């Protein structure tokens, strides 16, 4: 053992099939399972635990990527894509299920939709990709745990009111922070657009 961090190549996974990327793919694959638990099995508690586990793995795959030098360009796209799809599906499903306040869920969806549209527009304009900020990840992480708490709070388990209260205690600050970070991305977007256009012009002049 020479103390060198394990990389995707050293464990034979290749540059794309890194452990963090496989975790992100597994999270995406679990979305249908969440829908089955919530609607097919009528198991809000099971759906809540699964959603909480998926939220936790969002932190785990990022830690693994940094700790073992497995950060990849595809991972930087795949991880936030998994976050967006999980939010879209889970929040919409919970609105239908009636286990979350509609106003809260709609505000979360508006923010996620705005991010998605902005990313598409910036990409079409030639901007380089913008990395997710630490505060942005913190807001997402908080929301990912607020929604499972809302689910458990709408069951007949012991202490359901406490779980629901915890959901609001975590959810409100996370929602406010998520909108604050949206404004934080404006100067980053301006820089990314300028750098992306400069890089494209540089390639054209070579």
Q: How far apart are CA 106 and CA 93, in angstroms?
A: 12
Contacts of 25 (CB under 8 A, 6+ apart): 78, 82
Q: Which residues of 80-94 are buried (b: 16+ CB within 10 A; e: fewer)?
A: bebbbebbbebbebb
For residue 1, what pLDDT is reported? 45
For residue 191, what pLDDT is reported? 78
Taking 50 as the pLDDT cut, the residues of the chain under it are 1-13
For residue 171, what pLDDT is reported? 96
DSSP string across 57-116: HHHHHHHHHHHTT---HHHHHHHHHHHHHHHHHHHHHHHHHT-S-HHHHHHHHHHHHHHH
Q: How far apart are CA 176 and CA 140, in angstroms?
A: 11
Q: How far apart are CA 145 and CA 148, in angstroms?
A: 6
Q: What is the pTM of this model?
A: 0.77
For residue 55, what pLDDT is reported? 81
Q: How far apart are CA 132 and CA 84, in angstroms?
A: 12
- Quote the tokens at residue 2: 């020479």
For residue 22, what pLDDT is reported? 81
Q: How far apart are CA 151 and CA 96, in angstroms?
A: 12
């Amino acid at each position: 053992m020479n103390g060198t961090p394990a990389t995707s190549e050293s464990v034979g996974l290749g540059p794309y099939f890194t452990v963090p990327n496989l975790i992100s793919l597994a999270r995406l694959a679990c979305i249908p399972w969440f829908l089955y638990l919530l609607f097919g099995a009528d198991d809000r508690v099971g759906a809540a635990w699964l959603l909480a586990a998926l939220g936790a793995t969002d932190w785990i795959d990022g830690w693994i990527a940094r700790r073992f030098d497995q950060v990849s360009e595809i991972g930087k796209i795949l991880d936030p894509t998994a976050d967006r799809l999980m939010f879209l599906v889970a929040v919409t499903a919970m609105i239908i299920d009636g286990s979350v306040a509609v106003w809260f869920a709609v505000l979360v969806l508006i923010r996620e939709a705005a991010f998605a549209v902005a990313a598409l527009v910036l990409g079409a304009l030639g901007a380089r990709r913008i990395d997710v900020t630490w505060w942005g990840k913190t807001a997402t992480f908080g929301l990912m745990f607020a929604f499972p708490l809302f689910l458990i709070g709408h069951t007949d388990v012991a202490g359901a009111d406490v779980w629901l209260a915890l959901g609001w205690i975590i959810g409100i600050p996370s929602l406010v922070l998520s909108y604050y970070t949206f404004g934080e991305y404006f100067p980053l977007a301006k820089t990314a657009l300028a750098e992306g256009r400069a890089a494209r012009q540089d390639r054209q002049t070579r």
